[in-house]
Amino acid sequence: MSINRRNFIGYSVAGLGSLAFSAKSYSRIVGANERINIGFMGTQSRGAGLLGSFARMAGVNLTHNCDVDSRVLKRTHNAIIQAGFDAPKSDKDIRKILEDPLLDALVIAAPDHWHATAGMMALEAGKHVYVEKPLSHNPHEGEIFVSAQKKYNKIVQMGNQQRSSDESIELVGLIRQGLLGNVYRAETWYGNNRGSIGNGKVSALPDWLDWSLWQGPAPRRPYRDNYVHYNWHWFWHWGTGEICNNAAHELDIARWAMALDFPQKVSVTAGRNFHQSDDWEMYDTMEVRYDFPNGKTIEWVGNSCNKVNRFGRGRGTLLLGTEGYAIVDRAGYEVYATDGALIRQRQVQNRAVKTNDLVGAGALTEAHVKNFLETITGVTKRQHSPISDGHTSTLLCHLGNIAYRVGEDIYCDPTNGRVRGKKANQFWQREFQNGWNLSI
């Protein structure tokens, strides 16, 4: 059964059907010399979803394919061909992919510890970058990544796709016009029912995995059989916890709506309450509060293993103002007066808002991808998630992790987000594997 652009999304996890537009029919819309050549780093789960979203866009070629899992590399290579594109250049080593001058943009859906490193390598090679959240593994990487983008002057878009929601854009515009009065507080949340990751054993490397390339910039550690492909999220050496994994979306929406940048104080209550005998190194339950100048606050509550809904939603943002309040998520928004009366609503039916969807394909991702491509081509000058915003929102997440790890409130410079004090600064950056240090 053949794959085409319309059913490319989820090809690795779902059955494949035929739909109206093949890649070849799309390719006729834009001349070959005008199409953007796209490469992908990491095409398991979320990477597969991004592949599908880019495949649906007119004016692109899927030309480069990189994954350290040889099974995924081969599957993606074949799927791109079956979708009607020419055979991509496929290689497990991102450095070889970036050497090709024909590549225009790199899409990064590798593990978190790779995000800033691969992004900076791509910029240095003259490529535009679409990078999944979080923008970085630690604050120092984020700062260098921002500097690199300024130096090389390429487009970098972070994959916080709610920024491209028409409903969210509309609500933020209404808030700017004064609909809620002074928005003084935001409450954000996320719930899931994650299971145990078990206790991994040091074991022989699978023949399909290049463990050295998987680790990349991270100092080398022995392979254990419960790291790949997802559980690395819960190890500090590679992952960044639930707050960077998911609060990167809702904290970003709150900060955007309230027109805030950096906090002056961050407070955390967090712990590990479920599956306490497994290898998970982090909290699974977290409450974090950000205090900003002028008395404004944002809170995030994350429940990794207890799928608590608020307002019937597994994730979302509540914005509290002096003239009313609003609830917003990926499916739309509701606005209420201070007496609780509904005064405005906009919802999109059947838009997926599941909190346990690892692929994350759909209309919002496609809108975000389209904005990235149109920014590259100059069709629009309004980029929805430039690297400066991606870094600021990711930094909020990192600050929550730092407060948790030091076990006390942390204080920041509200002009740039930098932490104060020796204890907090020990988590500002990481050591790199020899030969992988970031510099600009």
pLDDT number for residue 351: 66
Listed as ranges, residues in the chain with pLDDT below 70 are 1-33, 350-360
Q: Which residues contact 407 (CB under 8 A, 6 or more apart)?
A: none
Give the model confidence (pLDDT) of 393-430 as tens digits. 999 999 999 999 999 999 999 999 999 999 999 999 99
Asked whether the beta carbons of 110 and 230 are under 8 A apart, the reply is: no
pLDDT number for residue 440: 82
Class of domain 164-352+385-425: alpha beta
As given in the structure block, the two tokens for residue 240 are: 């960044």
Mean pLDDT (the chain, rounded): 93
Give the model confidence (pLDDT) of 251-282 as tens digits. 999 999 999 999 999 999 999 999 999 999 99
For residues 153 and 126, give the distance between their C-alpha atoms in angstroms, rounded to a whole number. Answer: 9
3-state secondary structure of 246: helix
Asked whether the beta carbons of 247 and 300 are under 8 A apart, the reply is: yes
As given in the structure block, the two tokens for residue 435 are: 């030969």
Tell me which residue has tokens 């389209």: 370
As given in the structure block, the two tokens for residue 296 are: 């404004």
Q: Looking at the whole model, is its pTM more than 0.75?
A: yes
pLDDT number for residue 359: 65
For residues 260 and 254, give the distance between their C-alpha atoms in angstroms, rounded to a whole number. Answer: 8
Q: Which residues partner with 325 through β-bridges?
A: 320, 336
Judge if 5-162 and 164-352+385-425 fold alike in CATH terms. no
pLDDT number for residue 358: 63
pLDDT number for residue 438: 85
pLDDT number for residue 362: 86
pLDDT number for residue 21: 34
Asked whether the beta carbons of 281 and 395 are under 8 A apart, the reply is: no
Whether the bond into 217 is cis, omega within 30 of 0: no
Q: Which residues contact 102 (CB under 8 A, 6 or more apart)?
A: 37, 63
As given in the structure block, the two tokens for residue 436 are: 């992988």
Asked whether the beta carbons of 214 and 67 are under 8 A apart, the reply is: no
Treating both helix axes as pointing N-terminal to C-terminal, what angle do 387-406 and 139-152 enclose, rounded to 10 degrees? 170
**Domain spanning 5-162 has what CATH number?**
3.40.50.720
Tell me which DSSP letter residue 108 carries.
E
The residues spanned by each domain of the chain are 5-162, 164-352+385-425
